[in-house]
Amino acid sequence: MKKHKHTHIGAAVLFAFFGLLFFVLFLRFVQLQVTGVADGQVLAIKAEERYTKKRTIEAKRGTIFDRRGEVIAEDIPSYTVVAVLDKEMTTDPNDPKHVVDPEMTAKKLAPLLNMEVDEVERILKKDAKQVEFGPNGRGISQALKQKIEALHLPGITFMRDSKRFYPNGTFASYVIGYVQKSDSSDGREKGMMGIEQSLDRYLKEEDGYVTFKGDPKGWRLPHHTDEKIVSPKNGDDVYLTIDQKIQTFLEDAMNEVEKKYQPEKIIAIVANPKTGEILAMSTRPSFDPNKRNITNYLNDAIAYPYEPGSTMKIFTLAAAINEGVYNGNELYQSGSYAVGAHRIRDHNKVGWGMISFNEGVQRSSNVAFAILVREKLGEDRFLQYLHRFHFNQPTGIDLPGERIGNILYRYPVEKVTTGFGQGTSVTPIQQIQAATAIANGGKMMKPYVVDRIVDSETGKIIVKNKPEVVGTPITKETAEKVLDILETVVTSEKGTGRPYQIEGYRVAGKTGTAQIPDPDGGYLTGHQNYIFSFLGMAPRENPRLLMYVAVKQPKISYTETGAVPVSMIFNSVMKNSLQYLNIQPTLDQPKQKVQAKKGIVLESYVGQSTEQAVKALKEKGFSVTVIGTGKEIRAQMPEAGEELAISDRVLLQTDGEAIMPDMTGWSLRDVMKLADLLHLKPSFMGSGYVFSQNIRPGTSVKENDYIIVELAEPDQLQKRLQENKQPEQEEQGPMD
């Protein structure tokens, strides 16, 4: 065949084109090999990123415990509900992996997520591969997850997560605080309010991760061992001084008062005056940190300064006694007292005539304290005591947001009114700190709520707080005299603190009825428009608990006093807490002292025969209970040498096995005797006399067993016994 004349030209052109293209590609290949850079990016790094996979290993935020190791806040597993809408995820029509029927799915899913059916259906019909359901579908519990799984809804799946959980709900909420997702890109939980905020640097966790070589789908490539693991760092654990049991007593009592009297505010603090440890602290309104239904973002116990009213008289009295200018038997004219152009009046407007200063304290006379400040102490010296009690500075409690009050001391009348709690403002925690000096022999203790911080992985203590004396504003002798007078405020027929008497325990304290400033000037008027309060400590002879309660503007009737809602909280919490702490009821109360002097000194019956000891005691008029079936007395309660009144109960423990007696009708004091004798751990419900016990009569008991009794008042005892009556049992406990 004859070749076309252009064939060689075309071949040459193609050869030249492909030769040039090959040369360019070769040069590019050489350039990439030499530089390792393409379009400004290092290829080795891009390859590493493409084939290196990273998986997060989740860490756990530190747990918050109470003083006895009970969990108050912890991380628990949670889940996020996800709906797969991508049809390509289904490979087998008989086993769909996506949402097939949005209407049916929405109808079944909506009630469990607490959402409207239309809203869920709208989400399921979105143009997306997968969707979530907002806040209602996040942080769900294992139990709810199982309920949703039981519906077998195609395309509904879950992503595992964790959430902060507060098992007690509304419980010291302003002390504990809460956590929420931060606005930062890492989405880490951040502490908000309370301990969660102030100790966030200790509680926060750091996630770990593992890296490995994988294919584009994320599967690990075989024969690759260059795996890197960074372990997660769990947060540190925090142990508080809060006692879950006492805090629960407080929350329950406050709930009852809030429901019945609907006050504007309630503030209460329970402390150990010997150490400054806060055992319970709560306010109303409060919130559940699981729900974050918050209406007030301040912890009123440490951040709400107000005019305290007559509880401030405690410290004025202490200052006067400490300076040696207080004579309780000295008389003064009550009713009114002139300070320049101003006139100070007692709360009843007319006074009680010529009375002693001791009676003035009992009746909470403003005039008595005006005289003490102006004529006895002097305003300048009194101001020094206000500073000694640290009313001019924060306590430094380890909680965020503490504020201080304001000492108004410009004009003569302000100096005088400060002495009885008007004009000058303080916070509840400042009063608690100052009162520790009264209950602790003159030593003022700094309040604190964090006992220790512990490494959750090693158990090593990182931070340990200890009791701290922050001042000695008064002497031990002064503190004792103040306690004596404050006890009469509760026991005297003329005392304003009579509603705060607690059966079996001596209480010392002072009431307060604080006026509330009117925004338009002056003070609010009306039966309810006060902050009613009580600052008390018990037992008087060695105060173990110090408690402040304030109730603002309760809806009380005209026949009720402000002491009613306050005492509902104080009496219930103080009594239950003293019993819970195994503090034996006081024997030497005023009435009991008189009776004891007419009583009989108890002899020792240890070593005598059971029959002989019982006979001798009954002849003297005592009630006798024998613990055990032995023939010889091994121990007795009360011990020898104590003075007892006729008909008092004596417990005799024999040798051999200890047997639980029938305690029906016993007083609380007798139960405490039994607990001491047998070394049991008692717990009480109610007040009055025993109608129920957890250990059956006739049952063998050992040291450290728990004995739980229920008590009823005398007028209710027979009714409760009848309700609690059981069929007669074969075994009967020993007779008294």
- Which residue numbers are catalytic? 310
**9 Ramachandran zone, left/alpha/beta (phi>0; psi -120 to 50):** alpha
Tokens 């109730």 map to which residue? 551
**Cα–Cα distance, 357 to 321 (Å, whole number):** 12
Q: Is the peptide bond before 543 cis (omega within 30 degrees of 0)?
A: no
DSSP 609: B
Q: Is the peptide bond before 285 cis (omega within 30 degrees of 0)?
A: yes
Buried b (16+ CB within 10 A) or exposed e, 121-151: bebbeeeeeebebeebbbbbeeeebeebeee
Q: Helix 142-149 crosses helix 102-113 at what angle (to 10 degrees)?
A: 150
Nearest of 74, 226, 31 to residue 162 by alpha carbon: 74
Buried b (16+ CB within 10 A) or exposed e, 406-415: ebbbeeebbb
The β-bridge relationship of strands 649-654 and 623-627 is parallel
DSSP 63: P
Contact present, 75 and 60 (Cβ < 8 Å): yes
Sign of the Cα torsion 417, 418, 421, 427 reads positive
305 token code pair:
């300064």
The β-bridge relationship of strands 623-627 and 530-538 is unpaired
HEC per residue, 126-174: CCCCEEECHHHHCCECHHHHHHHHCCCCCCEEEEEEEEEECCCCCCCHH
Nearest of 441, 429, 356 to residue 399 by alpha carbon: 429
**Cα–Cα distance, 506 to 587 (Å, whole number):** 9
Tokens 């607490």 map to which residue? 114
Report which secondary-structure segment, H or E, holds 106.
Answer: helix 102-113
Residue 464, phi then psi, degrees to nearest 5: -135, 115
Nearest of 342, 475, 366, 460 to residue 418 by alpha carbon: 366
Nearest of 432, 467, 447 to residue 537 by alpha carbon: 432
Nearest of 444, 379, 389 to residue 418 by alpha carbon: 379
User: 3-class DSSP state for residue 198?
Assistant: helix
Contact present, 243 and 280 (Cβ < 8 Å): yes
CA 184 to chain centre: 31
DSSP 542: S
**Cα–Cα distance, 543 to 536 (Å, whole number):** 10
What is the radius of gyration, based on Cα positions, of the chain?
37
